[in-house]
Amino acid sequence: MSKETKYSTIAEEVLSAVGGAANVSSLMHCATRLRFVLVDEARADLDAIKAVRGVMGVTRSGGQTQVIIGTDVPEVYAAIQGLGVTGESSSGADEGGKKGLTKVFDIIAGVFTPIIFALAGAGMLKGLLILATTAGWLSTESGTYTILYAAADGFFYFLPLMLAATSAKKFNADRFVAMGIAAALVYPALVSAFDAGTELDFLGIPVVLTSYANSVIPIILAVAVQGQLERLLKRFIPSILNVLVPLITLTVMVPLTLIVIGPVATWISSILAQGYTGLVALNPTIAGFVLGAAWPLVVMFGLHYGFVPIVFNNLATHGRDTLFTITGPHNMAQSGAAFGVFLKTKNKELKQLAGSTSITGLVAGVTEPAIYGVNLKYKRPFFIGAAFSGIAGAITATVGAGSSALVGTALLTLPAYIGVGFVGFLVACAIAFLGSAIVTYLFGFSDSMLEMPATTTEDPSARSAGELAAPVSGRVVDLGDVADPAFAEGSLGRGVAIAPTAGPVVSPVDGEVTMVYPTGHAFGVRTASGAEILVHIGFDTVQLKGDGFSVLAAKGDRVRVGTPIVDVDLDALLRQGIDMTTCMVVAGSTTGEPVDIGANAVAGQSIVFTSKATAGRE
């Protein structure tokens, strides 16, 4: 399977599971997550999303349904855009129903997520320049330094313009008018007047000048007001005179921002910065431990972007940030926990996953793959990482370390932390990684977690996952020979495949239907013992969008062996040349006995298959 096909398949299955394009109000992505705002969250099948190969997890937070993809998220996002869903509203849904913190976090994510990669790049360049000048490799008087520093600091200096563009999109305001307002805030004449202490007035009203370079809150509030003003003007100004809308908006908003919104926002920024600084100053060690230990949960629920304004306030007010510095070793701790699993496990697939996600977190600071792909799955590694994140946070806060730019903590970004407390910060990061790795290796993981035999105490009459019925009539084939590598290599679990000769497709066990795709191409059933059975009908059949499939059961239905789940127009699909090989696997199983290859299976009749991991996914 090519990468393009892989991303397209993930996109199609995720979009189907969230309720289709019509249920998507808006979509954006960050470093590892697709962030959906849905028209009706109840239409999204979270179990179906989790079952998509390539999805590491799903969570709901801040009014968003967040699908964790990992570092491939830009490609999956692009594939979803190709299906007719863009970052803009695709349904015209009104988001006005959101209230309180949900709305605040949604606004913050919408404003900052689009620029987060550029911010990280500029921050890393700043850190490298600090390293180069501190080590004496580069002079601050050289032209090379001047040009590179302009490339790094220019983004932060003109941050109001960047935020104006993203805020305009969030508040449905004219993007270029918003950028015009931001440009006025950093206009050289006004900056010079501020630097010189010159007093200005507007129509006799005194203007309290301040520095808006690197600022965050003033322009966001200004654009929010701009959006309201533009909507009001468009109600009264005929479309033939539309040019009056930007004229009036600029004439009103620039003075209003300089006289009222800017000073108020600056005061709010100062209060936020002083409040955070004062809280940490009360007891840096305790505050650092609490922040560090809690941060993995904040990241898990996707709420970390909600703290970005505080970080920018710290940078603008103090020239350095300590919040993301205190919480930064979390990246090292979760990477270390995954590395401990890598060292301990003898399972080939898990070793590869744990090793790659650990390196991604350690080198690039992207920890969601390690958290969702490894640590949370086995629980202990996640909490061990959280504990060492707290210990490292306490050390970092105690030594007073900080960063000169907004960056995620990783080996590549360490130069950004050069300054007060840098050595202590390095020690904290080392303790976070090595401590988590060692404790996870010794106490946090063993391969026995992969081998949890099923019991039948809940329902003695239920079949174990080791005795499965054929989901469809046909010829039994070797699962290792099917066209899809995920099934052939056992990534989804061990099981059997059947080349079908007649429908319908039935439940292979007694249990509860955990998910059925609207397209009918796949479904899952959980036994009373906890084993989860996945049945996938054909390959690339999701692209048929339900044509030829009739879904006969729903999520939550109690079914017996042989209960029809999906009816398939098998003859019509086979005539189209579609590979209808149907795979049945025990989710999470790592070993299994082969079945009678070539035998004719009858839907609802037993196929003996023994699995050593039948307790289902955690």
Query: Known catalytic residues?
Result: 30, 536
Give the list of residues 6+ apart from residue 385 with CB closer than 8 angstroms, or none: 296, 330, 333, 334, 336, 337, 375, 432, 436, 440
Taking alpha carbons only, the member of 349, 350, 335 closest to residue 381 is 335
Sign of CA dihedral 594, 596, 602, 604: negative
**Which tokens sit at 86?**
């863009």
Tokens 């570092």 correspond to 71
Q: How far is CA 340 from CA 368, 403, 600, in A?
A: 16, 28, 45
The count of other CB atoms within 10 Å of the CB of residue 368 is 26
How many residues would you count in the chain? 618
CA-only gyration radius of the chain, Å: 28
Give the list of residues 6+ apart from residue 90 with CB closer than 8 angstroms, or none: 21, 22, 24, 25, 26, 27, 84
Q: Is residue 413 a contact partner of residue 127, using CB atoms and an 8 Å limit? A: yes
- What value, to the nearest 5°, has the Cα angle with vertex 406 and ends 86 and 286? 120
Q: What are phi and psi of 296, to 5 degrees?
A: -55, -35
The count of other CB atoms within 10 Å of the CB of residue 154 is 11
Q: Is residue 429 a contact partner of residue 392, using CB atoms and an 8 Å limit? A: yes
Tokens 């490292």 correspond to 392
- Fill in the amino acid letter for 590: T
**Which tokens sit at 533?**
């059975």
Sign of CA dihedral 458, 461, 465, 466: positive
Task: Identify the three-state secondary structure at position 85.
Answer: coil
